Amino acid sequence: KYKPIEILNISKQAFECCNKDYIFKITNESHLIIEIVRQKSLNLGYLLGKMKFLDINSMEIFKLFDGLKYFKIEFSEKVDDGDLAFIEEIVNNSFDMTKIIKLEKPKILKSELFFDLNHDKQIALLKLETKNQKGLLAFIAKVFDEFGVDIVDAKIHTQKNIARDLFLIEKNESLCEKLDDIIDRLCVE
C-alpha cells in the first residue's frame, strides 16, 4: 500500500524518534491526518475519544523496530487552522496514561465481532463489521487499554457508514484468559 517514498519518510521519522519518547506530524490539506511514531505508550483511547468530533476514515497501526510503533489516523474532513494547536495539545496529552475519558458505549453485537485466537502463534485476530458510530474506535481502544491488549497492526476502514475494522493483537495469557470479559465489555447483549 505504501509507496517507497512513504516508507522512507516513515523510516526517517522512526530514526528521529530513537532519542525521543514520541514524534508526530499533523497534516491538514484536503483532510486531517495525524501520524505518530512512539516509544512511550500512547493512550489511544484518550486520543480517539478527544477527537471523536471528527469521523475517522482510516487508521493504521504497526510495529516498526526497537519497540517503536507507527500510527496514522486519517479523518474525513479538514479542520480550521485555528484548531491545530488544540489538536497538538490533545496529541501531547495522549502520552499521559493516567488520562481517562468517559465514552458512551457503542452498539456492537456479538455477531458483528469475530475473534480468532489461533490466527498465528503469537497473534490473535479481531474483525469487526458494524454500523459506524461516533466514538467507536475510541471505545475499542479504551477497552483494549483497560485489559492490556497490545495492538500489533490495525486496518480501520469506513465506507457507506459501515466500519470494517481489523486488529492484529499480540497474544498473551491475559488475552486468552480474559477474552470473554473483553467481548462482554465491547458488545451489547
**What would the pLDDT profile of 6-36 be if each residue is shown by its tens digit?**
777 777 777 676 677 888 999 999 999 999 9
CATH homologous superfamily for the domain 4-186: ACT domain (3.30.70.260)
Question: Among 25, 66, 21, which Cα is nearest to 42's?
Answer: 21
User: CA dist 147 to 57, 140, 178, Å?
Assistant: 26, 11, 8
More confident residue, 149 or 8: 149
Quick: pLDDT tens for 42-87.
888 899 889 988 888 888 888 877 778 889 999 989 999 999 999 9
pTM: 0.80
- As given in the structure block, the three cell numbers for residue 109 are 453485537
Whole-number Cα distances in Å, 51 to 40, 54, 76, 89, 135: 20, 6, 12, 11, 8
Q: Quick check: 110 pLDDT over 80?
A: yes
Average pLDDT over residues 135-156: 86
